[in-house]
Structure 1
C-alpha cells in the first residue's frame, strides 16, 4: 500500500503471498537489525515477484533460501514498479543461464569456455541485485558447472590426444626432411628434392595453422630439427646452382666463340662445310649453357651452318641439272651392255664391253654422287659377269690344263681296261665277291672320266 493509504494492523515485516514452492520466511527480528521496521507494499503478481518485497521507503528485498536480503532501493516509484525493475534483472540472469544451458545441450561449444562463462554467471547470481528464485538459479548453475567439468575433462583428454597425434605428424615431417639432408646431395636430382622439401614445408605450415597448439618446448625442438635439416638442403642446393651457373657461363663463352668461327666460314661457301663439321663436334663437347641460352646460341650456330649447306644445295642443284644428259647417256650404254651377256663369243663380248667402258669414261662424272654410284654398280655387274665367263674359258682352254687332263684321262682309260678284265675273270670264275668289287671300281673310274671330259 502507499504512504497515503490508511494504516492496517500488520506485523513489522509482512510475509509475501505463497507460491507453489514457497520460500521459508525469516522471523521478523532478523529482517532489519537496527533500523525500525517499515511496512511494505504488496508484492508483484508474477512468480519471480513472489520472492521479493518492497518497504515503504522503497527498499527492495529478495528471499534467498531462508533469509531476506536487501537488493536495493527504488524510492521514486510504486512497489510494483520497484519489483518489476529487479525482476527484470533476474530475468536477464535467468536468460543468460538458459542460453548457457542450451549452448551446452546443442554441442559444438567448448566446455572450458562454457565453464568460464558459467563461473562468471555464478558470481553474477551470487548476491545479485535481482528479485526471483535465485536459489533455484544457483542450483541450475551448480548442476551445469558439474556437467561442464566432466565435459571439460573429456575435452582435455581429446585435446591431449590431438596434440599427441600432431606431435607424431610433425615428427614424421622432421624425420623425412632429415633423411633428405642425410643423402649424398652431390648426386641428387635437385628439381625432385626441391619439390619434396617444399611439400614437407607446406605440410608443416598447414599443420601449424590448422592443427592444435603444441607445447612450446616440444614445438621449438621439432622446429629446430626441421629448420636445421632444411638449411643443410638449401645450402647444398645454392652451392649446386652456383656451380651450375659458373658452368653455364663457361659454356656460353665457348659457344659464342664457336659461333664467331662458324659465321667466319660464310665466304668459303661449300668448302667451309668440313670445318663447320669440326666446329659441330666442339659444340657437342662444350656442355650446357642453360636451356634458354642454349636455344638462342644454337639458333645462331645453326644459321651459320645453314648458310653453308644452302650454298652446297645450290651447287648440287646446278651440278644435277648439268648431269641430266650424262645420266641419260649412261643409261643408254647400260641398255647396250645387256648384249654382253647374250654374246656367246667371249672375245666379241669383251670387245663390246671395252667399247662401252671407253664411252662411259668419256661421258665423265655425274651428280649427285648417289646417282653416279648406282650407275657404276650396274655396269660393274656386267663386268663381273663377263670376267667370270672368261676365267672359266681360260681354265678350259689353257694348254697346261689340257695336258694334265689328257694325261689323267689316259690313266683312267688304262685302269678301266684293267678293271674290265678283272670283272670278266671273276664272272667266269664265279667269284661273286671279286665280281662285285671289280664292278664298283669300274663304275667309279668311268664316272671320273666322264667328269674330266665334260
Structure 2
C-alpha cells in the first residue's frame, strides 16, 4: 500500500483521494505500483489545475461571454465532482467558486453597460426623431433633404432598442421623412406648373420680339421693347432647359432692332452735329445785329439769317435749347426795338400820353391847393389825407412824364 498527503492506494489497487468529507474512491489501478497509480491521478489533477488557470485567464482578458464561461466552469466542476484526480480538489472548487463570482460581476457590468448604451441609443434616436419632425416642416428643400439623409445614416449606426420602442420611434422618424418628401414633391410640382406658365408667356413675348426686330418705327418700337422686357421679368423663370434658349432668342431679336436703330441714329447724330455747327455760326451772325441801330436793315438781315436757319434741319436735342435761345434773344431785341420805334412815331399814342399827363398834372395842382387851404383852416387831418392821395397821383404823373419822353419830348 502506498500513500501521500492527498491520496492512497490500498492492497486491492483501489485509489482514494482525501477530502474534508473523507476519502473518495478515485479509481482502480492494477497495471503497476501504487506510486505509479498516484502519479497518474496526480497528473490528472495537474491537468485540472492548468485547465482552470486557462479559464481564469480567458475570463479576465477576453470577451468570453458569461454563458460560455459558466458552461466551462460546470464542465470542470463535473470532473472535480467525479473524483478522478488526486490533489486538493476542494481548492480547485474554491477557485471555480471565485471564478463564478467574477463571471457574475462581469455579467452585471455588461448588463449595466448594455442598459446604459440602450438608454443612450434611445435618447439619440428620440433626438433624431425630434429633428426629423422639425425638418419635415422646412422649406429649405435641398439642405433639409440632405440633412434627413444624414439622419438615416446616423440611425443605422445606432444599436436597436427593444422591438416595441424601436418600432415606435422608427415609425415617427419614417413618417417625418415621408411628410417632408410629400411637401417637397408638391412644392416642385407647383413650381413646375408655374414654370410651364412662364414658358408659355415667354414664348409669346419672344414671338412678338422677333416680329418687331425689323421695325423702323424707332420710338414706338423701342417703347414696346421696354414693355416686353418688363413683362419678361414679371413672368418668372421657365424650366431650366427652356429659359436660356428663350432668353437668347428674346435678347437676339432686341439686339437686331437696336443695332439697326443705333446705325441710323449714329448717322443722324453725325448730321445733326454738322447742323449744330452751322446754326452756331448763324447765331453768331445774328448776335452782331444787337444792339439795333438801323431797325430796317437789322430786320432784313435777321430774316435772311432765319431763312438759312430753317433750311438747315435738326440739331442734337441736348444742344437745341442753348442755340435756339441765342436766336430768340436776338429776335426779342428786334421786337423791343420795333415797339420803341412804334411808340415814338405813333401820333395817337403820343396824344393819349400827353392828355393823360395833362390830366394828372391838373389833379396834382388841385390837390396841392386843397392841402394849402386845409392847413390854413387848421384842418390837419384833412390835409394829411390829401397829402397821401397826392403822393399816389404824383407817382402816376412821374411815370406818365417818363413815357412821354420816349416820344421825343
Whether these two folds match at TM > 0.5 is yes
Tell me, yes or no, if the aligned pair for 1:420 and 1:442 is still in contact at 8 Å: yes
Match of 2:105 in 1: 146
Question: Are 1:306 and 2:289 an aligned pair?
Answer: no
For structure 1, the residue ranges without an aligned partner over 5 or more in a row are 1-6, 16-23, 43-53, 61-78, 101-113, 181-191
After superposition, the Cα gap between the structure-2 partners of 1:378 and 1:41, relative to the gap in structure 1 and judged at 3 Å, is farther
Query: Which ranges in structure 2 are unaligned for 5 or more consecutive residues?
Result: 10-17, 81-88, 403-409
**Alpha-carbon contact 2:121-2:159 (below 8 Å) kept:** yes
Which of the residues 78, 100, 118 maps onto 1:159? 118
Alpha-carbon distance between aligned partners in 2 of 1:325 and 1:230, rounded to the nearest angstrom: 70
Find 1:90's aligned residue among 35, 52, 67.
Answer: 52
Residue of 169, 174, 177 corresponding to 2:133: 174
Q: Aligned residue for 1:213?
A: 160
Aligned to 2:305: 356
**Aligned residue in 1 for 2:145:** 198
Partners of 1:445 and 1:309 in 2: how far apart? Answer: 70
- 2:176 maps to 226
1:449 aligns with 2:397: yes
CA deviation profile, 1:180-238 (whole Å, cap 9, x unmatched): 5xxxxxxxxxxx54235415523532441344535233124303531441243134134
Deviation at residue 413 of structure 1 after TM alignment: 1.9
Over aligned residues, Cα RMSD in angstroms? 4.4
C-alpha distance in structure 2 between counterparts of 1:291 and 1:379, whole Å = 60
1:330 and 1:360 in contact (8 A); partners too: yes
Map of 1:25 onto structure 2: 19
Residues 394-419 of structure 1, C-alpha deviations (whole Å, 9 max, x = no match): 67877666555544433332222122
Give the Cα–Cα distance (whole angstroms) in 2 for the partners of residues 423 and 36 of structure 1.
181
1:170 shift after superposition? 0.7
Q: How far apart are the structure 2 equivalents of 1:87 and 1:348?
A: 150
Higher helix share: 2
Q: Greater CA deviation, 386-395 or 253-262?
A: 386-395
Identify which of structures 1 and 2 has the higher relative contact order when contacts are C-alpha pairs closer than 8 Å and 6+ apart: 2
Matched, 1:342 2:291: yes
User: 1:13 matched to which residue of 2?
Assistant: 7
Q: Distance in 2 between matches of 1:397 and 1:99?
A: 139
Q: 1:51 matched to which residue of 2? A: none
TM-score (normalised: structure 2): 0.71
Q: Superposition pairs for residues 382-393 of structure 1, below 5 Å?
A: 382-384=330-332, 386-387=334-335
Residue number in structure 1 paired with 2:187: 237
- Whether the aligned pair in 1 keeps the contact of 2:59 and 2:103 (CA below 8 Å) is no
TM-superposed CA distance for 1:163, in Å, is 1.0
Deviation at 1:156, TM superposition (A): 1.9
Alignment partner, residue 55 of structure 1: 38
Distance 1:93 1:40 in 2: 32
Which residue of structure 1 aligns with residue 13 of structure 2?
none
SS of the residue corresponding to residue 30 of structure 1 reads strand
Equivalenced residues, count: 377
Q: 1:122, 1:138 within 8 Å by CA — same for their partners in 2?
A: no
Distance 1:168 1:325 in 2: 81
Question: What are the superposed Cα offsets for residues 240-273 of structure 1, whole Å, 9 maximum, x if unpaired?
Answer: 244145335524643553465356x2xx7x4688
With normalisation by structure 1, the TM-score equals 0.65
